[in-house]
Structures are given as structure tokens and as C-alpha cells.
Amino acid sequence: GAVVSQHPSWVICKSGTSVKIECRSLDFQATTMFWYRQFPKQSLMLMATSNEGSKATYEQGVEKDKFLINHASLTLSTLTVTSAHPEDSSFYICSASGRSYGYTFGSGTRLTVV
């Protein structure tokens, strides 16, 4: 079945630094990738949608200059949290979709900003 690899699984960084999270589709071409954010005991909130070779489409209220998304190939998308602050601490999950219906989720990245 379709597999999406997400790294790192967890990361701790200092306030003001940047963190990059990678999401790779291992056995299919991901024409569209999605980035979600999840706070404890809450649902997943979509942050942005990216198509290969295009600029990401951000959801309302998501700062595109803070959450940089790059989808340079059909198998790789990255999310960079710039100038991270403690309020950015969260669980980030990517999802990829290929030509057929369905979504495959990465294993998630727990970000803690201290």
C-alpha cells in the first residue's frame, strides 16, 4: 500500500530558530500534499495544500511567511517553521494524495519550542 514517510518524529528547538519537517511519498507520486496541525485533544486543522511545482495554498489564518511549504517534486514536500515560538509547539502531520482517491498520512512530527 501507499506509504508516506515523515521526519523527524519529534524535534525540540529554541525560540527564534527554524525547523524543517520532511514528508516523502515512498511508493507513489503525490500530486497533492497537505499539512495539518493538531493541538492536544483537538482535531486536525488543515494548514495548507501544495501541488508539485506550484505555490502552496494556505488556509485562512495561517501565516505563509511563518510556515514555508515547498513541494519541489512528486515525492517530497517540506514544511519549515520559521522563527519558532512556544505557541508553535504542536503535532504536525502531512498527508499525500496521488492520482486515485484517498489520502495517506505520515507518522507525524511533534514539535516543542522552548
Partner 1 sequence: ELKVEQNPLFLSMQEGKNYTIYCNYSTTSDRLYWYRQDPGKSLESLFVLLSNGAVKQEGRLMASLDTKARLSTLHITAAVHDLSATYFCAVDLTGTASKLTFGTGTRLQVTL
CB 34 within 8 A of CB 95: yes
With CB under 8 A, what is the number of residues at the site for partner 1?
24
Kind of pairing between the strands at 109-113 and 10-13: parallel
Least distance in angstroms from the C-beta of 107 to partner 1: 5
Binding residue (CB under 8 A) for partner 1 from 5, 20, 68, 110 = 110
Footprint of partner 1 on 31-90 (CB under 8 A)? 31-32, 34, 41-46, 49
Does position 106 interact with partner 1 (CB under 8 A)? The reply is yes
Query: What does the alpha-carbon distance between residue 66 and residue 57 come to, in Å, rounded to a whole number?
Result: 14
Q: What angle do CA 35, 98, 74 make, to 5 degrees?
A: 75
* Interface residues toward partner 1, by CB under 8 A: 6, 31-32, 34, 41-46, 49, 93, 95, 97-98, 101-108, 110
